[in-house]
Structure 1
Amino acid sequence: MAGFGWRVGSKLQRWGRSCLRSFSSAVIPSHLENVGFIGLGNMGSHMARNLVMAGYKVTVHDINENSMKKFADDGIPTKQSPLEISETSDVVITMLPSSSHVLDVYNGSNGLLRGGGPLRPWLYIDSSTVDPQTSRNISTTISRCHLKEKRGYAEKPMILDAPVSGGVPAAEAGKLTFMVGGLEETYIAAKPLLLSMGKKTIYCGGAGNGSAAKICNNMAMAISMLGVSEAFALGQNLGIKASTLTDIFNCSSARCWSSDTYNPVPGVMEGVPSSRNYNGGFTSKLMAKDLDLAMASATGVGFKCPMGSEALETYRKLCEDGSELKDFSCAFRHCYAGKDEE
């Protein structure tokens, strides 16, 4: 891939800047127009709809027929396999629950790369949260593939690992942050597409670096949520209302996303999972999965993460206790037995 980047780097940079100019004038470049989207869960469904609203020609696939029916009912084309998505798309975006799902969608019997033959899509973007090695392995596989038709802006198919931050509310509002790994020239070229689903993109370096940034972010988020939850529970046991403690946290050194944007105490903040019995949002099961990825990656480089390890055990226990589908902020209720605001 390095040689490829050297050959077409300046061309892609010029093309990327042209994309940005075109995007700013509401004209979608033809090489970004036909987008296949795979994975219509809590996050992906909103991301795909934002692409439709931005004017892209979107075709979708999910193993859940009910999820696809919602799109079909709105006149959005659906396909029955990743392979079928690949056959009609210039760009393919995947938003899937785990590394195993990503590998199956890319390498399975009806996957995007079936047989390793020439490919129609010039760009693949994986926004799933997976381990960095999975991202790098898929990047290596794609680097060995060829395009069915060479294009002026791409001589070989390319891939970006581009996981997101912001949760379901940001996905719905089109305000996600993308952490992107891959060739920088490819990142520049894809930026208009990413910004139709988010408010910010951050280039993290080579293949797998976006995935590495994401698992570090989620580890910090989990640890923060547990710390904030524990502090709220202690405050309530000492006679301080959670709403009062929230006001204090949010104008002092304890302020963080878990206190001012995603408060875990029921009755304190509207529009967050804790206000609806921890339904919706980012599940404890997914948080446990992401922490497991982070700990496995840490082990792979010989680095110890004691707080990350403790957070993983906490979320595993939450899942075992029946809260795997509850939002991860339910740690407040289940781990610390806090009292709801009256």
Structure 2
Amino acid sequence: MATIGWIGLGNMGGPMTANLVRAGHAVRGFDLSPAALAAAAASGLTPATSIADAVAGADVVFTMLPRGEHALAVYLGEGGVLDSAAPGTLLVDSSTIDMDSARKLHDAAAEAGFRFVDAPVSGGISGAEAGTLTFMIGGDAASVAAASVFIEPMSANIIPTGAATTGQAAKICNNLMLFINLAGAAEGAVLADRLGLDKQVFWDIASVSSGDSWALRTWYPVAGVVPSSAANRDFAPTFTAELANKDINLAIAAAKATNTPLEIGEHVQQLMQRLIDAGEGARDCSAIVKLVDGTLGATAAPAPDSAPATATATASTPAPRA
């Protein structure tokens, strides 16, 4: 079994490392959040005191960080991964970040003598816990094949996407479609209700008809229909509006760089921004339904501290170094 270094133990990284430990790997991890580090240690991870401590002697290093600036700081900063890992170590970044940052990481890693792949994931917290994530892996074929061996205990699908940064490209495009589908499900659900359709009956129809989508089946934004819906828990987050807004903005930036119009995507981004501006940014992104049903201004209890999809990840990630 392998020695694995891991940086970033938030709501995704923590359960992902637990699956690696269950597969028999020795995982040593680091996070700036003591609570995140303790939670991962409870699942068998060996806590590290720094990035350098986490990557020392590792066969492979994984990172799971919120944004491009965090990934750049962790890899390129003083005492970071490229400073501390042994040359030739396989590096796997599973963060969802912008294309420019992904390219900088590939180039810097290659220049320093490391193997590097961008390997973002889809499947959310539930997929991280169950070990059923989809990994989209960009990089040279040999490095992708090597990374896939370590990824297997965390995944249901491992899909090589091609050259460097294509994993990030796939994730950005996938999430753009996801949030457009979510907005459509919200509008359809509210309209169906106001036309007198029973909520379960309408979902039963849409889920086996042309209105079907992963968002409808998993994140349906109406309480009492889909067990996994955050609407059942007053939109306690599984994937926050802030994270959704970040991901849509990644797609918009990539679209501008490639002269690609995203009229629908830009509109959905504006909807997510409205949620954030209304103080709903830490709630689940499926709260977008509140913009349709008119309940956005309704009084709601604060999002539970125990399940912040972004707060834990952001707090547990090293701030970019100057």
Letter of the 2:191 partner, please give it: L
1:1-342 alignment runs, 5 A limit: 28=1, 33-114=2-83, 119-120=86-87, 122-146=89-113, 157-337=114-294
Return the alpha-carbon distance in structure 2 between the equivalents of residues 335 and 232 of structure 1. 9
Tell me whether 70-79 or 222-231 shows the greater mean CA deviation. Answer: 70-79
Return the alpha-carbon distance in structure 1 between the equivalents of residues 42 and 145 of structure 2. 34
Number of equivalent positions: 296
- Deviation, structure 1 residue 268: 1.0
1:83–1:111 contact (8 Å) kept in structure 2: yes
Q: RCO greater where, 1 or 2, for CA within 8 Å and sep 6 or more?
A: 2
Letter of the 2:78 partner, please give it: S
- Deviation, structure 1 residue 241: 2.2
Return the alpha-carbon distance in structure 1 between the equivalents of residues 238 and 27 of structure 2. 24
TM-score normalised by L of structure 2 = 0.88
Letter of the 1:286 partner, please give it: L
Return the alpha-carbon distance in structure 1 between the equivalents of residues 44 and 186 of structure 2. 43
- Deviation, structure 1 residue 322: 1.1
- Residue ranges of structure 1 left out of the alignment (5+ in a row): 1-27, 147-156
Residue deviations 1:40-59 (CA, integer Å, cap 9, x gap): 11111111111111111001
Larger Rg: 1
Give SS of 2:219's match: coil
Structure 1 residues 201 and 73: alpha-carbon distance in aligned structure 2, compared to 1, 3 A threshold: closer
Return the alpha-carbon distance in structure 1 between the equivalents of residues 232 and 238 of structure 2. 11
Tell me whether 279-288 or 117-126 shows the greater mean CA deviation. Answer: 117-126
Tell me whether 227-236 or 120-129 shows the greater mean CA deviation. Answer: 120-129
Residue deviations 1:92-135 (CA, integer Å, cap 9, x gap): 10111111111111112231123xx8725610100000112211
Letter of the 1:87 partner, please give it: A
2:98–2:250 contact (8 Å) kept in structure 1: yes
- Deviation, structure 1 residue 333: 2.7
- Residue ranges of structure 2 left out of the alignment (5+ in a row): 297-322
Return the alpha-carbon distance in structure 2 between the equivalents of residues 295 and 270 of structure 1. 32
- Deviation, structure 1 residue 75: 4.9
